[in-house]
Each structure stands twice: as structure tokens, then as C-alpha cells.
């Protein structure tokens, strides 16, 4: 907060251009009214508000932007995009920043990414989400073994969570169901590595 | 009315946390002569984690389903879940860009069909077949005396041009349906605000605080129930209701049923075919009130 | 022919990227050119003197100046050659600034292109003939459309200058938006008190004829001689008998009629006088809500009217006025803010427009000047003002600034504190635009003396909290975080748009308007009152956002233009008009049908029908010359031969 940023030397126009190209949004039209911040349901968990992130993108302050917690805490609810007076899809900019940060291995809030990976792991194996599996994997990954323990009695009593994974029935489709999904994810991973980005 | 058929994509939560949504959806569609043909071998759309990680990965997971539907000759796929709907529609639209299509096809076993079917919500699918009057004509047990609010969540109506749900700030389809069922539906101002989505596990305050805000307003407005159409919203507002109450330093006791469950009740479906037992905050009080209303009315 | 060519350097504007001396040298070889020079500033006094001297010295009978756009200096140089004894149409201009030096950096290419443009001008000039304007009489009477403060000012200034005025107002009373305001910034003086006397002056001025509750139906003619059809809408009251006593409005049983003057903040009666100081103070019946007119049974007002003025069978009446000039002063309307669903889109009774708030503040308003919430009549303690609702917002198609909202919002915050001392006002703003005299000081007073909290940021949403208040979800971008305010009343500074029907009126006036319906001035800086139609002038917000002082100033400016026009007894018509070669005309009628000005009529000549141009009406647009299959119509000063000569010159370069 208190440091002085030398924006003349930190400015990276290529970063601004890359964000604009990937997101398809013209950030120069942002006039900093703050409407995106005003409506953001995740703002309380942000270290930089979304309008400040837009400012950082305008100025080309790459590190300042890609190292925020905010881009990981974004809920993708698109309230910002809906109400932007300049028709900027702000949520698309946030998603682009998240992708850029991930590809470079900048993960400021690891638990969020761990949750995503836990979710996608179950999809890779079963072809469909397995909620208890996701929970278990996430607890292991994050070492937060008490996550949502308070919900367990209620959830189990109401059978809200299926104990048995619902894999894609193999006989239903010629491509072997779950394995086809596994192959999609495998190809994605191999291509990312080939292209030199973190999958 | 003759039976119409739609291809049907239940989404993963239908097999787990929102089995009651699934159950009631099938019951209601059955009563309304809408035949749901489940896509064979459908897979997870990737939900938030996939698109948060990579747009092309998310699209590939979605397109496999759309491709299966295309192979089955489906024109329209119905899905109850707004998150699945959003992902499937986004993927379908992005496939119109040749470069994007080529990148996605690289991830698939075989290139996707040129023409992919449209996807729509169960809610809109029902509305296509039944306008308000037609729905009212099917009502056997009107929800008289119930004061309800409709909550759509953040995904159902936006982006407006993709989701095609009318005013993205103020969708009204669910209200129309519930009104057709005889309930008093009051305009719920936070109907499209975000409940905290899938952050319940990694960042509980996100769901707790946002859901508390929604529940608090619903209670202040004197609603008997807040009616939802999204499995994730339902989980955050119902299963996680105590977490929300704790974060707000209060207590809530507000039923959060799916719109299909109330539709089912109004259409006269037996309660055991609507998965009401899965609701954490019981609907019993509400049911008594509705019966009372019917007797008075 | 002996032609002189002058290649202007325009300082470095042209000379920087065009070799002017070289262009002059090349010009000396062009046909009929006997003299060429390259002055530094041709339009300056020495430059003009040099042209005059060259005309005398070299016995020139035609001049080409290669410089800037003819829009600016063609009239200047025409006067120059005229002073030296040439016909003013023996002059041509080549634009080597906007079309050459400002758009290209390659000096050699620029020089060549400049020389080519000069050659084209020379070839056209060789085929020019002297033209003489005709003079015609003018009707020294002015039509002013719109009786807001700008139109009132223009009307009074013209009338005081001795010019008869016809003032047409769409509503039943003049006064416009200013009549609805409680106080005005930055002096916080009473709006009705300063406008009222001017309205009375309009009513009493012997030179002003007022048509209230009337609209301009049709306009024909041209500068000096316009003919205007005015539709006097049926008021269902004979105004020659109505004394404005108000007996009818007291007894009218249709008490739920929407009150447009009060911006729908309260109901009124079907027969109504807009407000106590209305001019004219005459009753009008709202036919849609009148029981007699809509259902055929009531007739109460006719029974109680002491002068028998009620006329249920009244119909619209068309009157015609002949005038020499027109001032458009049609003002503005608020944009339809209900597109903002996130602010309730009109669902929440206590989220109101700033104009509605003016009516709540006004002693003649529905609450007698007490600020009371529309929902429950309670006095609000927390009032939130939101600026730029429908201004500077591309997402709703309103990218422009409405100009005066910053100032009236500050005024309303000040008045709120005056009315309710224990209240707190909050203003959400993006920028405070207060450049007028004593304006910025006024906004500072709102903060420093009246305790208004200014919060820099937009508001994302407003919703009722279910307990009688509204949650305003905003942001303080200076603090860098979202903020929420519990409000009892929310006032939206709704952006402006051109008044309803402005674009249709512009088409009747044959003036341009922008994509938002605001009328276009002739030159954005140097002709802000004129339009591109001679004799039609603009005043007030119809031309673009402006506050009361600026509207009054433009009203006076428009009057000055009218008075200057009428200072002459005759006007000259532009001789650059279409002319029919009667021998070639086959009377096919195509020119008559395509002329946008109705300037061509069919005449009988030796037993045959022929087309004839009405010289004073023709605007020289050239549509007919392009349409005529016989080539029988030629535009003087731009004949087919002249255009072909220019094209030939270019092709032969």
C-alpha cells in the first residue's frame, strides 16, 4: 500500500496488449467509475478491487495484476460485465488474467486451484463429478481435513452426497465413456506441456 | 396435449447433491407429457474448474456431449442446471470460430459434428410447451396462500445475449410459473445476485456471506420460501444455511425448494416423487400453509 | 482569359509539406494562367491586397486561390476579387490544406497533388460565367418554436427590437423545464420568481403572438419567406372565455389524472391549469381521462364554468403564419431511465428522478414544498443522489455528458439540508463538472457548509431491504472499496436527450441533427447559433446540453441574428442554382418529383408543359441535374461541362 510504484519503468504495454487480445476486450474504454467493484460479491476477499485490477491492466503493471489474490477469488458471476457502462466484459478480463497467471505458475491462492484439480481429477477418472471424491482429494491436497465437517451429519442423513461414484456406464457409448473423457484431459495436458505452459 | 421429446442432459449433481431436483424434474415433465431422453454416456461439462483452468478444455468436455446429442439427431437438449447450461452454450457459440473449433477438435477423439444442437433450460423447455394459462389448466392443488420469492442466481440470465432469458437483471419466467400455480410471488430484488457459487469448499466466507445476504432479505420480506433453479445455489442456501446464519450472527429457517418441486406439488404429484425429504430446511410448514390456503380459498 | 493563381503557404500548415513555390511555377504553364505567386498568408490583409494589385497590374479576369477549405474563406476571397472589379463568381478555390498538406507527409507527392488540384480549378474557372444574385422582399416576422427559457428570451429580445414574434409552445403553458424547478444554482434563488416576470412579459408584449398547446405542423419556403402551418390542439376550453378562475378544476371528479407538470409525483384533475403562474393561465382538458370525453357522462366542468367556456366538441385547428426567420428552442426531455433494471427500473416508489425531486421541493408541487417519500409520506433522513444515470453511459447508448446535473445535484443536496436539518445527503459522482462562474465554489459549499458526502464512484444496484429502506450498493474508488448506504430516498440525476419529436421537427426545418436528436449548429465554434438552413437559428438545449445562463445567452444570440437579418430590407438569392434549358426539357416531371425543396414547378409554354425553377426556393443541391434524363437542367457554376473539364484535367495529369 505504501510503496511508490515507478510506473514509467514498470509499464509493460505488451502485457496490456496480450490481455486485450486474449479477452477480446478494449480496456482503454474503462474510465474507472468503479461500477464493477460496487457490485462484486467477492470484493471482500480481494486484495485489489476489480476496478483497480482494470487500472493495472491499463497501465501494463503485469506483476501487480497477476500476483493478486483477487483473480483467484473471482466468482465468475459476471455482475461486473452486466453493469459496465462501457460494455467491457470485465469477467472475461479476470478469467484471462487467471489463465495467464496459471500458465506462468503464479498461483497466489493455491487452495482454489487445489479444489479445481480435485474436481477435475474425479472427472478424469469417472467422466462425471464425484462429490465425495472431490472433497477427499481436496482435503488431502490442502491438508484441510476439517473442511465442511459440520455439514457431514446433515448431508449424510439426507443422502445429499452419493457415496458411490456415478461413472459413465461403459455400455452406453462406443467410446468407452469415462476413458474418452480421460483422453480429452490427457490430450489437453500433453498439448499444454508441448506449448510450454503449465496445464 | 401430445407428448413431446427432448434430449436431456442431467448434469453431475443430478446423481448426487441435487437428486431431488432430478427427481422432481422428471416427475413434473412426466405429468406435463414432456419426454426426457437422457443422452447416452454424457460426461461432466467441467463446471467452473474447467473454464477457470482453460477455455478450450472446458469446451472440449462440453462438445463431447453436444456431439453425442447431434449423433442422436437431437435438435434441442434440455438441462436443469444453469452452470451446465452456461458452459454448454458458451462452448456451442465458441465452436463457430474456426480456429477455436480446430483447437477443440484436437482434444477430442474425433472432430465434432459441424452442426451442434441448441441447449436450453428445463424451465424454458416447459415454458415453450405451456404458457401461463396452459400451466394453470394442469394445476390440481394450487399453492394458494404461499408467499414465494424466485431466485435465479447469477448464471441463468447472463450474459443476456447468450442465455436468452429476457432482462438479465430481472428475469420473470419462474414468477410466471409459480403464479400460474396459484402462489403469491413477490418480486425478489436479489434474484440474480451471486450466492458464492462453488467457493463453499475452498473459501467458506464467500458462500456464507453472499448467501446470508440473500437469505436475510428473503426473511425480511416475509417469504415462506425462496424458490431456486440451480443445484449450487440450492446447496449454498439450504445445506449451508446454518453456515450463512453463523456468519451473519443470526439464525435462518427458510425453505429453499427447487421450482420443479413446487410445480410438482401444484400438479398433484405425490410428495415422495419430488424428493422433498432431501431438503435440509423442511417444507412441511409450507405444505400445511398451502393446504390451509386451499381450504380457505 | 487571363488567370492569376495564388498558392498559399498558410504559414507552415501548407508550406511545411508542400513546395508552394514549385506549385506556383508549375501553374504558370497551365492554360490561360498569366500570373502565379506563393504568398505566406493569402487571407491576411497584405495577401488580399496582393490579389487586388495583381488583378489590376496583370489585367486578370479570373483568380484561383489554392489554400484551405472553401467553407471558411471562399466568401473572403470572393469579396476580394469583387473589390478589384471582377464578378465574385470568377473565382475558384483549390483545397491544398485539408485535402493535401494535413493528410500526407510525402512532400513530392503533396506538391504534385497540389498542382493537379490547381489545374482542375483553372480548368473550371475557364468555363465560369459571371453570375448576378437577385434580390427579394422579406417578411419581418419571426417564429420561435418552444417556450422554455431560451425561447422566451429570444422572443422578448426580438419583440423589444421591434420584430413581431409568433411563439409556439407544445404544452399548455410556457416556462419549459425551468418552470418546474424549485431553486436555481449557484445562487439558490427561486426559479419561478425570476422566470415568472419574463413569462408575464411574453403574455403582455404587443409584439408577441403566443400559441400555447400548439405544434408546428409544416414549414415551407425559404429565408425571408417561410410559410408555417401551426396545429392548435383542442383544449376543449374556449380560451377567449376562460378566465383561469379554477372553478372547473375544483369540481372535476376525475382526480386520478396523471400530472405531467408535476412529473407524475401526484395526481391532478382531468381539467387542469398546470400551475398557479401558468402563462397563459387557461384550463385544458386531458381527453383520455375526462369522463365526459371518454365515457360520455359527467359534464361537471361545463356546469360550473361561470363563463361557459367548456367546449367538448372542440377540434384541432390549423392556422398559417408567414415569417421571415425561425428560431428552434425545443429544449430537452429526460431519457427513459427505467432501462436501469438494477435501480429497480421504476419499480421502487422512493427511487425518483431529479426533476421529480424538484417538484417535491417546490411550494407549488404535490407536497406543498415538503420533502416526503412517495411510498409512505415519511420525511427521509438519508438521501442518496446518483449522478450520470443515463449520461456518459455507452451501455444505454448515452455516451455524452448532460452538462448541468453536477450543479443541480449539489443544489438539491443543499436544499435537502435546508428542508430537513437532521438529514444526511450522499452524492455518488464520477467527476464534478463545475466550470461556470461561482460553480465550483458552490459545490464546495455543499460539502463544507452543508455536510454533503461526495463519494467518487458509480452505483451498481439499489434494492429495498424489506424493512422500509433501500440498500444502495456503490463504490468509493478513492477509498478503493465497495460501500453500502441505507437510504430513505434515492434521487437519480437522469441524463437528457433531445425533446420528443425533435428529429421530426428538424426534418420540417430542413436542418441537421445528430444521432441523439440534438440540432446541429452550422459551425461548432464560429457559428453556434446558425444552422445549415439560412434563416433558421438555434437557442437552448435543443442544440446540446447547457444550463440556464447559457440557454438565455443563446436565446439572446439567436435574437441578435434575427434582428441582423431583418435589418436589411431585401435579401439576395444565391445565383448558384438550377436552370432549365426549355428547348431540351421534355416535361417528364422527374425533377419535380426528386426536388427536396419543392423548387421546381410545371409551367405552360407555347402550349407545352415545361419545368421551371423557382429561383428563391432552389438551394442548388444538384439532385435534379443528376436526375434529368435530357441534361436539360444545369446547375449554374457547376455545369456538366465544368465538372467534365475538371475530370479531364485530372485524367490528363
pLDDT tens for each residue of C108-137: 999 999 999 999 999 999 999 999 998 999
Q: What does CATH list as the number for C334-497?
A: 3.50.50.60
Q: Give the CA radius of gyration of chain A.
A: 20
Chain A contacts in chain B segment 71-90 (CB below 8 A): none
Rounded to the nearest angstrom, the minimum Cα separation between A6 and chain B is 32
Q: Give the residue carrying C-alpha cell 429495498.
A: C464
pLDDT tens digits, residue range C202-233? 999 999 999 999 999 999 888 999 999 999 99
Q: Are B86 and B40 in contact (CB under 8 A)?
A: no
Chain A contacts in chain C segment 465-494 (CB below 8 A): 473-477, 480-483
pLDDT tens digits, residue range C487-542? 999 999 999 999 999 999 999 999 999 999 999 999 999 999 999 889 999 999 99
B44: which DSSP letter? -
pLDDT tens digits, residue range B243-291? 999 999 999 999 999 999 999 999 999 999 999 999 999 999 988 888 7
Residues from chain C contacting residue B189 (CB–CB below 8 Å): 344, 463-464
Mutate which of B158, B161, B189, B218 to disrupt the C interface (most C C-beta within 10 Å)?
A: B189
- Say how far apart CA A180 and CA A171 lie, in whole Å: 13
Chain A contacts in chain B segment 169-228 (CB below 8 A): 169, 193-194, 196-206, 209-210
Decide if A159 and B56 are in contact by the 8 Å CB cutoff: no
Which overall architecture, per CATH, does domain C3-125 show? 3-Layer(aba) Sandwich (3.40)
Using CB atoms, pick whichever of A38, A52, A87 lies closest to residue C460. Answer: A38
Mutate which of B159, B169, B209, B215 to disrupt the C interface (most C C-beta within 10 Å)?
A: B169
Decide if B56 and A129 are in contact by the 8 Å CB cutoff: no
Give the pLDDT score at B60: 98
Using CB atoms, pick whichever of C341, C464, C465 lies closest to residue B169. Answer: C341
Using CB atoms, pick whichever of C341, C344, C466 lies closest to residue B221. Answer: C466
C407 closest CA partner among C354, C457, C363: C354
pTM of the model: 0.91
Using a pLDDT cut of 70, give the percent of chain A over it.
Answer: 99
Query: What number of H helices and E strands is found in chain A?
Result: 12, 0
Write down the H helix ranges in C540-613: 548-566, 590-594
**Per-residue pLDDT band at A1 (split at 50, 70, 90):** very low
pLDDT tens digits, residue range A24-45? 999 999 999 999 999 999 999 9
Which overall architecture, per CATH, does domain C142-233+316-331+499-566 show? 3-Layer(bba) Sandwich (3.50)
User: What's the distance, CA A11 to chain centroid?
Assistant: 25
Is the minimum CB–CB distance between C345 and chain B shorter than 8 Å? yes
Using a pLDDT cut of 90, give the percent of chain B over it.
Answer: 93
Mutate which of C341, C387, C395 to disrupt the A interface (most A C-beta within 10 Å)?
A: C395
Q: What does CATH list as the number for A7-103?
A: 1.10.1060.10
C36: which DSSP letter? E
pLDDT tens digits, residue range C21-37? 999 999 999 999 999 99
Is the minimum CB–CB distance between C346 and chain B shorter than 8 Å? no
Q: Are C387 and C428 in contact (CB under 8 A)?
A: yes
Half-sphere exposure of C291 (CA within 13 A, CB side): 13
pLDDT tens digits, residue range C274-312? 999 999 999 999 999 999 999 999 999 999 999 999 999
Q: What is the DSSP string of C87-137?
A: -TTSEEEEE-IIIIITT---HHHHHHHHHHHHHHHHHHHTT-------EEE
Q: Give the residue carrying C-alpha cell 457459487.
A: B197
Mutate which of A28, A33, A73, A87 to disrupt the C interface (most C C-beta within 10 Å)?
A: A33
Rounded to the nearest angstrom, the minimum Cα separation between C342 and chain B is 6
Higher pLDDT, A34 or A134: A34
Q: Are C612 and C602 in contact (CB under 8 A)?
A: yes
Query: Taking residues B150-177, what's their average pLDDT?
Result: 95
Residues from chain C contacting residue B169 (CB–CB below 8 Å): 341-342, 345
Specify the 3-state DSSP secondary structure of C471: strand
**Per-residue pLDDT band at A140 (split at 50, 70, 90):** confident
- For chain C, where do the domains classified as CATH 3.40.50 start and end? 3-125
Using CB atoms, pick whichever of C344, C345, C466 lies closest to residue B217. Answer: C466
For chain B, which domains are there?
A: 4-122 (1.20.1050.140), 131-296 (3.40.50.11810)
Strand ranges for B192-255 from DSSP E: 225-228
Rounded to the nearest angstrom, the minimum Cα separation between B103 and chain A is 10
Give the pLDDT score at A152: 83
Q: What is the DSSP string of C275-315?
A: STT-SS---EE-TTT-HHHHHS---HHHHH-TT--B-TT--
C156 closest CA partner among C239, C279, C274, C333: C279
The domain ranges of chain A are: 7-103, 110-194
- For chain C, where do the domains classified as CATH 3.30.70.20 start and end? 578-636
Pick from A154-158, B46-50, C44-48, C630-634: least confident: A154-158
Query: Taking residues A123-132, what's their average pLDDT?
Result: 92
> In this structure, is the dihedral angle defined by the CA atoms of residues A93, A95, A98 and A102, taken in order, positive or negative?
negative
- Say how far apart CA C537 and CA C157 lie, in whole Å: 14
Give the pLDDT score at C311: 97
| Number of CB pairs, chain A paired with chain C, less than 8 A apart | 67
Specify the 3-state DSSP secondary structure of C249: helix
Residues from chain A contacting residue B169 (CB–CB below 8 Å): 82
Which overall architecture, per CATH, does domain C578-636 show? 2-Layer Sandwich (3.30)
- Which chains contact A through at least 3 pairs of Cβ atoms less than 8 Å apart? B, C
Rounded to the nearest angstrom, the minimum Cα separation between A35 and chain C is 5
- Say how far apart CA C470 and CA C453 lie, in whole Å: 18
- For chain C, where do the domains classified as CATH 3.50.50.60 start and end? 142-233+316-331+499-566, 334-497
Q: What value of ipTM does the predicted structure carry?
A: 0.93
Average pLDDT for chain C = 96
Amino acid at each position: 500500500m505504501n510503496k511508490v510504484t515507478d510506473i514509467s519503468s514498470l509499464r509493460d504495454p505488451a502485457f496490456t496488449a496480450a490481455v486485450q487480445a486474449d479477452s477480446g476486450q478494449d480496456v482503454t474504454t474503462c474510465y474507472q467509475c468503479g461500477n464493477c467493484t460496487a457490485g462484486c460479491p467477492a470484493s471482500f476477499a480481494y486484495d485489489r478491487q476489480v476496478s483497480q485490477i482494470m487500472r493495472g491492466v491499463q497501465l501494463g503493471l503485469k506483476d501487480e495484476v497477476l500476483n493478486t489474490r483477487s483473480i483467484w477469488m473471482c466468482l465468475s458471476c459476471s455482475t461486473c460485465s452486466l453493469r459496465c457502462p462501457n460494455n467491457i466484459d470485465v469477467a472475461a478480463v479476470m478469467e484471462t488474467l487467471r489463465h495467464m497467471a496459471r500458465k506462468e505458475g503464479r498461483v497466489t491462492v493455491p487452495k482454489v486451484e487445489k479444489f479445481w484439480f480435485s474436481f477435475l481429477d474425479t472427472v478424469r477418472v469417472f467422466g462425471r463429478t464425484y462429490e465425495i471424491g472431490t472433497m477427499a482429494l481436496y482435503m488431502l491436497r490442502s491438508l484441510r481435513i476439517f473442511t465442511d465437517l459440520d455439514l457431514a451429519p446433515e448431508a449424510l442423513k439426507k443422502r445429499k452426497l452419493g457415496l458411490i461414484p456415478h461413472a459413465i456406464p461403459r455400455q452406453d457409448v462406443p467410446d468407452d465413456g469415462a476413458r474418452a473423457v480421460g483422453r480429452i484431459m490427457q490430450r489437453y495436458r500433453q498439448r499444454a506441456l508441448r506449448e510450454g505452459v503449465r496445464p | 396435449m401430445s407428448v413431446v421429446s427432448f434430449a436431456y442432459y442431467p448434469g453431475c449433481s443430478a446423481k448426487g447433491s441435487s437428486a431431488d431436483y432430478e427427481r422432481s424434474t422428471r416427475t413434473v415433465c412426466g405429468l406435463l407429457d414432456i419426454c426426457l431422453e437422457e443422452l447416452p454416456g454424457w460426461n461432466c461439462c467441467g463446471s467452473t474448474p474447467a473454464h477457470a483452468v482453460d477455455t478450450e478444455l472446458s469446451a472440449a468436455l462440453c462438445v463431447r456431449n453436444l456431439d453425442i446429442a447431434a449423433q442422436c439427431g437431437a435438435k434441442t437438449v434440455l438441462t436443469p442446471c444453469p452452470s451446465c447450461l452456461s458452459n454448454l452454450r458458451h462452448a456451442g457459440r465458441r465452436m463457430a470460430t474456426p480456429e477455436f473449433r480446430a483447437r477443440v477438435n484436437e482434444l477430442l477423439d474425433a472432430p465434432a459434428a459441424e452442426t451442434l444442437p441448441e441447449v436450453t433450460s428445463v424451465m424454458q423447455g416447459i415454458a415453450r410447451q405451456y404458457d401461463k394459462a396452459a400451466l394453470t389448466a394442469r394445476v390440481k392443488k394450487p399453492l394458494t396462500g404461499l408467499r414465494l420469492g424466485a431466485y435465479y442466481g447469477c448464471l441463468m440470465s447472463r450474459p443476456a445475449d447468450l442465455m436468452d432469458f429476457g432482462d438479465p437483471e430481472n428475469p420473470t419466467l419462474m414468477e410466471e410459473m409459480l403464479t400460474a400455480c396459484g402462489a403469491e410471488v413477490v418480486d425478489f430484488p436479489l434474484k440474480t445476485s451471486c450466492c458464492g457459487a462453488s467457493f463453499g469448499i475452498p473459501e467458506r466466507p464467500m458462500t456464507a456471506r453472499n448467501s446470508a445476504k440473500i437469505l436475510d432479505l428473503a426473511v425480511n420480506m416475509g417469504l415462506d420460501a425462496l424458490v431456486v433453479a440451480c443445484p449450487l445455489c440450492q446447496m449454498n442456501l439450504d445445506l449451508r444455511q446454518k453456515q450463512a446464519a453463523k456468519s451473519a450472527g443470526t439464525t435462518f429457517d427458510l425453505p429453499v425448494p427447487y421450482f420443479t418441486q413446487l410445480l410438482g406439488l401444484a400438479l398433484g404429484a405425490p410428495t415422495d416423487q419430488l424428493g422433498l425429504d432431501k431438503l435440509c430446511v423442511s417444507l412441511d410448514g409450507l405444505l400445511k400453509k398451502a393446504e390451509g390456503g386451499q381450504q380457505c380459498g | 482569359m487571363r488567370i492569376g493563381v495564388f498558392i498559399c503557404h498558410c504559414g507552415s500548415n501548407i508550406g511545411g509539406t508542400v513546395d508552394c513555390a514549385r506549385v506556383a511555377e508549375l501553374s504558370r504553364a497551365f492554360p490561360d494562367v498569366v500570373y502565379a505567386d506563393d504568398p505566406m498568408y493569402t487571407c491576411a490583409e497584405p495577401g488580399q491586397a496582393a490579389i487586388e494589385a495583381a488583378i489590376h497590374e496583370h489585367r486578370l479576369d479570373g483568380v484561383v486561390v489554392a489554400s484551405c477549405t472553401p467553407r471558411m474563406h471562399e466568401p473572403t476571397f470572393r469579396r476580394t476579387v469583387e473589390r478589384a472589379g471582377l464578378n465574385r463568381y470568377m473565382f475558384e478555390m483549390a483545397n491544398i490544406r485539408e485535402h493535401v498538406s494535413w493528410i500526407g507527409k510525402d512532400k513530392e507527392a503533396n506538391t504534385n497533388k497540389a498542382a493537379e488540384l490547381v489545374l482542375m480549378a483553372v480548368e473550371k474557372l475557364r468555363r465560369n460565367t459571371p453570375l448576378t444574385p437577385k434580390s427579394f422582399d422579406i417578411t419581418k416576422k419571426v417564429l420561435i418554436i418552444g417556450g422554455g427559457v431560451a425561447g422566451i428570451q429570444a422572443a422578448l429580445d426580438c419583440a423589444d427590437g421591434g420584430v413581431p414574434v409568433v411563439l409556439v409552445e407544445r404544452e399548455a403553458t410556457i416556462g419549459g423545464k425551468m418552470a418546474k424547478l424549485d431553486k436555481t444554482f449557484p445562487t439558490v434563488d427561486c426559479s419561478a420568481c425570476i422566470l415568472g416576470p419574463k413569462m408575464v412579459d411574453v403574455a403582455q408584449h404587443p409584439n408577441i403572438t403566443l400559441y400555447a398547446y400548439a405544434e408546428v405542423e409544416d414549414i415551407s419556403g425559404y429565408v425571408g419567406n417561410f410559410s408555417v402551418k401551426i396545429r392548435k390542439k383542442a383544449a376543449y376550453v374556449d380560451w377567449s372565455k376562460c378566465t383561469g378562475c379554477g372553478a372547473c378544476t375544483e369540481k372535476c371528479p376525475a382526480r386520478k389524472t396523471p400530472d405531467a407538470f408535476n412529473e407524475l409525483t401526484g395526481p391532478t384533475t382531468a381539467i387542469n391549469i398546470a400551475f398557479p403562474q401558468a402563462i397563459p393561465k387557461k384550463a385544458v382538458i386531458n381527453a383520455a381521462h375526462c369522463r365526459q370525453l371518454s365515457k360520455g357522462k359527467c359534464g361537471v366542468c361545463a356546469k360550473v364554468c361561470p363563463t361557459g367556456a367548456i367546449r367538448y366538441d372542440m377540434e384541432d385547428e390549423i392556422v398559417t403564419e408567414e415569417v421571415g426567420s425561425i428560431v428552434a428552442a425545443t429544449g430537452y426531455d429526460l431519457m427513459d431511465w427505467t432501462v436501469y433494471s438494477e435501480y429497480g427500473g421504476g419499480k421502487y416508489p422512493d427511487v425518483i428522478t431529479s426533476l421529480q425531486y424538484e417538484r417535491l421541493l417546490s411550494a407549488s408541487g404535490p407536497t406543498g414544498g415538503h420533502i416526503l417519500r412517495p411510498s409512505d409520506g415519511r420525511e427521509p433522513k438519508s438521501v442518496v443522489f446518483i449522478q450520470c444515470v443515463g449520461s456518459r453511459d455507452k451501455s444505454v447508448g448515452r455516451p455524452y455528458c448532460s452538462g448541468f446535473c453536477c450543479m443541480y445535484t449539489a443544489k438539491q443536496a443543499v436544499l435537502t439540508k435546508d428542508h430537513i436539518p437532521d438529514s444526511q445527503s450522499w452524492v455518488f459522482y464520477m467527476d464534478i463538472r463545475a466550470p461556470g462562474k461561482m460553480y465550483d465554489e458552490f459545490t464546495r459549499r455543499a460539502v463544507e457548509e452543508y455536510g454533503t458526502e461526495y463519494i467518487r464512484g458509480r452505483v451498481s444496484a439499489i434494492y429495498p431491504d424489506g424493512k422500509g429502506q433501500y440498500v444502495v450498493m456503490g463504490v468509493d474508488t478513492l477509498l478503493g472499496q465497495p460501500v453500502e448506504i441505507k437510504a430513505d430516498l434515492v434521487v437519480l440525476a437522469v441524463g437528457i436527450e433531445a425533446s420528443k419529436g425533435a428529429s421530426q421537427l428538424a426534418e420540417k426545418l430542413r436542418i441537421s441533427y445528430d444521432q441523439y436528436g440534438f440540432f446541429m449548429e452550422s459551425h461548432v465554434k464560429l457559428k453556434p447559433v446558425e444552422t445549415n438552413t439560412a434563416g433558421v437559428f438555434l437557442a437552448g438545449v435543443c442544440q446540446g446540453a447547457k444550463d440556464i445562463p447559457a440557454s438565455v445567452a443563446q436565446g439572446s444570440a439567436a435574437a441578435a441574428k434575427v434582428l441582423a437579418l431583418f435589418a436589411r430590407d431585401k435579401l439576395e438569392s444565391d445565383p448558384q442554382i438550377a436552370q432549365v434549358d426549355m428547348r431540351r426539357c421534355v416535361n417528364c416531371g422527374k425533377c419535380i418529383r426528386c426536388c427536396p425543396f419543392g423548387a421546381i414547378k410545371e409551367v405552360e409554354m407555347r402550349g407545352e408543359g415545361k419545368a421551371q425553377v423557382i429561383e428563391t426556393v432552389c438551394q442548388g443541391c444538384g439532385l435534379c441535374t443528376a436526375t434529368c434524363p435530357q441534361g436539360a437542367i444545369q446547375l449554374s457554376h457547376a455545369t456538366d461541362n465544368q465538372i467534365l473539364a475538371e475530370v479531364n484535367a485530372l485524367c490528363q495529369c
